[in-house]
A = this chain, B = another copy of it.
C-alpha cells in the first residue's frame, strides 16, 4: 500500500529549493512516499507577503549566500552560485506543468535537469532557448513545447498552481507539506524525515 504523496513546492531560483530537490525523493521513498513536485514563483508570492528577496536584504543577503554555500559543502551537495542572479524561472515552471500533464515522471526528470543546469552548470534558464534545449535532450519535442510556453492555457496553468500554493500557506522555497503538516526550508529536511517516520510529535 502507498500513503499519500508529499507536496514539494519550490522556485527554481531558490538556492535552498535546489538543495532540498537533491534529497526530497530519497527521503520520501524511504518511507514509501511519492513526491508531488510543484514549482512555484516567489515573485507573486512575495508581493502578497511583502517579503523581500533574501539575497537583496542588507547584511542578511551577504550572509545568506555564504551560508548556502557553506551548508552545501558540509552536506556534500554540488552547488555553484549562478553568475546571473536573481533570474526568472517562469519558462521552466510553465514547461514543468505542461510536461507533467502528459507524463508526471518525465516532468520531474526535466525539472531535476533544469535545477542541475542552474545550480551546477551555471546555465541561464531564464532564456526559453535553454529550457527548450534541456527538454530536447530528454527527448521532448522542442517546437511543441515552445508553442505551449506562449499559450494562454499553459500560462493559466502555472498561475493557478501559484494561487493554490498561496492558499495552502506557501510563502517560501522549499515548502513541503506532509499530511497537512508544513515544513519550510532545506533546514527542515531532518524534521520531514522524522515526521514521515513517526507521524509527528
- Interface residues of chain A, those whose CB is within 8 Å of chain B, are 48-52, 57-60, 62-63, 66-67, 70-71, 73-74, 166, 169-172, 182-185, 187-188, 191, 194, 201
Contact = CB atoms under 8 A, between A and B. Distances in A.
16 contacts: A49-B58, A49-B60, A50-B52, A50-B57, A51-B60, A58-B171, A59-B169, A60-B184, A63-B182, A63-B184, A66-B182, A67-B183, A67-B184, A74-B194, A74-B201, A187-B187
> Could you say which of A71, A73, A171, A188 has the most chain B C-beta atoms within 10 Å of its C-beta?
A171
Nearest to A188: B67
A63 B169 contact: yes
A73 B169 CA distance: 22
How many copies of this chain sit in the oligomeric assembly?
2
Contacts of A62: 169
Interface pairs A-B: 10 shortest CB-CB: A59-B171, A187-B187, A60-B171, A49-B58, A59-B169, A49-B59, A49-B57, A74-B201, A73-B201, A63-B184
Nearest to A73: B201
A200 B56 CA distance: 26
A169 B63 CA distance: 8
Contacts of A60: 49, 51, 171-172, 184
A191 B51 contact: no
Nearest to A74: B201
Nearest to A187: B187
Contact of A63 (B50, B73, B171, B194): B171
